[in-house]
Structure 1
């Protein structure tokens, strides 16, 4: 299992113990073995575990921020493609950063990275045949 120091070295954005207490990081790292298959990820297992933890920590930080401003943490919403405040509007191309079928993994960059790894881990070996066009 990945420890706190290794996780923070790989993902320094989670180093603030005020925002991400060590116990919270340890909790999500501890959940990874229940959700991520070491057999399937092989040498990439530790990275997959850290991405799993980072995804959940990022979602938790979003919920905590909402709750701090009187909102309700744990509410689910998709990616924001545009937002207007007063006379200023901002739009984002969410299609270029989301993966079809990834669901909630699309809510963080850590989740999309993990999902891409999942796709590779579950696809197995493949064989590409050399096909020649037949002209008749």
Structure 2
């Protein structure tokens, strides 16, 4: 089943404005996502992964477009962690909401959710072996 703009807007209504988030851009990122992610590997989470990927990238594109209005389009935008106006200043600890090692996925909340989802899918099966079995196999105690 093909994922569409309607699916994106149903999951994330904030992307309903076609002027800010044009259909052609959504179609482009949907196409990229289907090349990058495997439905077989992600199973029931495939649609969510694709929608998060699209949301992440169209937010980055919208930010770049807005930067182009008052600045230079295409500049990397990092989170602002402190700001001062007159005698008032504000700072934030972005490490509380960022994944270590996630790089550009941390640039949007959708990217962070996608990164968390992908990490959870990459853990693979887990199993444990009783220490007595290890002792017999390797000739020493592991407890």
Provide Cα deviations, 1:28-54, integer angstroms capped at 9, x if missing partner: 111101222222211100100000000
Provide Cα deviations, 1:63-87, integer angstroms capped at 9, x if missing partner: 1111111x11221133221111232
Instruction: Give 5+ residue unaligned stretches, structure 2.
Output: 132-141
User: Is the CA contact 1:79–1:107 (under 8 Å) kept in the aligned structure 2?
Assistant: yes
Q: Does 1:64 align with 2:62?
A: no
Greater relative contact order (Cα < 8 A, sep 6+):
1
> CA distance change for structure 1 residues 129 and 112 in 2, over 3 Å: closer, same or farther?
farther
Partner of 2:74, secondary structure, is coil
Misfit runs of 4+, over 3 Å: 128-131
User: Hey, what's the Cα distance between the residues in 1 that align with 2:113 and 2:130?
Assistant: 31
Count of aligned positions: 133
Q: Does 1:47 align with 2:79?
A: no
User: Hey, what's the Cα distance between the residues in 1 that align with 2:38 and 2:85?
Assistant: 44
Deviation at 1:128, TM superposition (A): 4.8
1:45-124 matches, cutoff 5 A = 45-69=46-70, 71-124=71-124
Mean alpha-carbon deviation: is it higher for 29-38 or for 57-66? 29-38
Deviation at 1:13, TM superposition (A): 0.5
Mean alpha-carbon deviation: is it higher for 58-67 or for 24-33? 24-33
Report the TM-score when normalising by structure 1. 0.88
Query: What do you get for the CA RMSD once the two structures are aligned?
Result: 1.9
